[in-house]
Structure 1
Amino acid sequence: MNFCRTNLIFLFSLFIFSFGVSQTRQIIIVDEFTNQPIEGVHLLYANLEEGSYTNGDGIVNIIVKKEDLTISHLNYQELTIIPEEINSLDTILLKPHNMELDEVVVNSFNLKKSLQYVLDNYYNLYVDYSTEKECSFKEKLIVDDTIHRLILSEFKIWTKDAGFNNRKLEKNIKLKLGTVSHNKNVPMGFDINEKGEPNPESSGHVITKSLLLNSYLDVAISRFLTYSGSIEETVEMSSPDIIVVSYTTDWKNFNEVANRTKGKFVFDKKTKAVMEFIKEIELRNDIKKKTSTFSNKEYQYETKSQVISYNFAKKVDEKYSLSKFSIEANVLLSLKDNKYNTHFKNELFVLKETKKRRFDNNNLVDLDQPIYKMLPSNTINSNAIVLTAKEKAFLEFKD
């Protein structure tokens, strides 16, 4: 199923588990030259395969361990903090990469050939064994720059290996929902019945099966090679360790809907593995008209763009594994003369990963049931992913 054509609905279950409580330290990471916070910095205890990510304010909670802590971001020089220094850290300054261009690489690089190499050597590059991932999941809906939904929960994911390999989805991946840290939903005001009540389900979700299928890199690369057509590619940087390649495809038309894809790939120069992949789908005239079963009013929604991104971390055995995954969608909702710019964002952060051949099948997530209908009403605050100041203000505001 192509994510570009799916409805927006998300799915889960009720099983509760808890992560161990350990000493944590809050750190802010900023650009050394601008002093601006950096979002999406990966902090990783490589030997333990355990870590976290900074939020939009550059803030992260990290569990204090007697291990070296690696701090990495695509646009910045990697940094390693020894255990003796972790407890004294409040702010970390990262230096941007010196942009380099290797003319030999620029002239000889072939994006499609490099991606085919990744597929041909997939299990030499990515994990080929079963693992259990302890994750934080964050779902956010923004309407006209105002947050309407914020869900932050933890869950465990078991995957057979890093590849989908055209197997049945339920054979590849299993989920169990854990502690719910935050769960607030303010229904959008466009779908109101005769009693003046807003539709509690009017905010939309991403389909879980689509999310899970899209989380597999081999699926994403195969689709890219099959459907991308003509590609304009540019080597943006070629350092001793990585190659960054941006791309844009031609516009294509299907059933009066036009689309093109743009984004970037980041390759590990040594192994030739994809370390990061960002895909933005731009759409024109992707308009659907509906009638609400809640208010019996007609409305339409137009999908303007969708973004899917993948981040991978190298494990102790030198194989790569998914460390962060996100899906975003920008949709224009219209009802009579009212228009609502809506932005959906769903992020998965892998906090810890361990080898595990089997997964207990009790209380698994039903992939055909929506999470917002099944989340428990009680919440337990978690230190896994730090909320931004704007997100905290949304949760604290009394409707």
Structure 2
Amino acid sequence: MSWHSFKNTYLIKFWAPLPAVIAAGILSTYYFGITGTFWAVTGEFTRWGGQILQLLGFHPEQWGYFKVIGLEGSPLDRIDGMMIIGMFGGCFAAALWANNVKLRLPQHKIRILQAVAGGIIAGFGARLAMGCNLAAFFTGIPQFSLHAWFFALATAAGSYFGAKFTLLPLFRIPVRLQKVSAAAPLTQNPRQARRRFRLGMMIFLVVALWGALTTLGAPKLGLAMLFGIGFGILIERAQICFTSAFRDLWITGRTHMAKAIIIGMAVSAIGIFSYVQLGVSPKIMWAGPNAVLGGLLFGFGIVLAGGCETGWMYRAVEGQVHFWWVGLGNVIGSTLLAYYWDDLAPALATSYDKINLLQTFGPLGGLAVTYLLLLAAFLLMIAWEKHFFRTRQPVITTLSEEKA
């Protein structure tokens, strides 16, 4: 394969979601095995909020939540921090390769309100459940934590209510029609595309070199950044968004992304299981009302905002200003949860057990239960898709008959 063909096929064109999500599942497995933690982002965003408060003279390090997740050092000193820096670098490089960077402002003020409010709700819910669509879902389920299943089901329900809510007339933006004499021709700027591709390669090489050099003194930090670059490239090139996976279920009936995510988790689970048998401890969280309530809020919030904790990251670096507001809302919401954690935790979280399916059912039993649940979820997706289009078929037929 020539360089030109490779460049167009793998660096410029969007990737198919299914192989990309499977690759993300495999990458997250090795990330867990090497660093001892899972692919997660909102915990670090919460730390960013806490450190901003420190700069303003407050003392969030005294809050119980930061005693749980830690607030020491800077993002450069933390595995999650370096991974997220790598993710932003990978996203930005991939967007530049494809000339997919353009400043795009929100179409209406109501969209800004949706972005901030939805981001706050999602950030609050994610940290209440001790994880977002990654730590409490995509990487939480393969970690064999029961709380992740509670969160996943609640997120699906929350996204349903969010989808119905965002279809209200309040969120419909007036469309301005403009009379034109002919369609505007599609134009491209080859020089701009070449410049941006080179800039993207430069950013990729700089961040990769940064990560590689960091491994010489702090191996886990450097490797975390390198993994982050891979995660960032995957989510941007394949446009992996958990919000669309949930929202599309209820609005369009499409389940392609949802099924891809289930398969990705199935691939990841066997790898995580292998590492656990080698002595790496999985991350198990409280299987209490916090996971359910957090999932409901998170599912509602991501649909209202239009993006989840990974979706807003790659869209933000593509120049979509709407998602800058979503990111700000995420940081605010997660920091608010940290502030109220001491009041909420005893009743909703810490009084409940951390249930590891591998311990509850035994190693092979826990693995079997996880795969049976994933299979059930996959079959439900297929059944829902058939039901969705079957119930709408009579309407389509009637419209066709009327036109005839």
Normalised to the residue count of structure 1, the TM-score between the two structures is: 0.22
Which protein has greater RCO, CA pairs closer than 8 Å, 6+ apart? 2
- Which structure's residues are more often strand, by fraction? 1
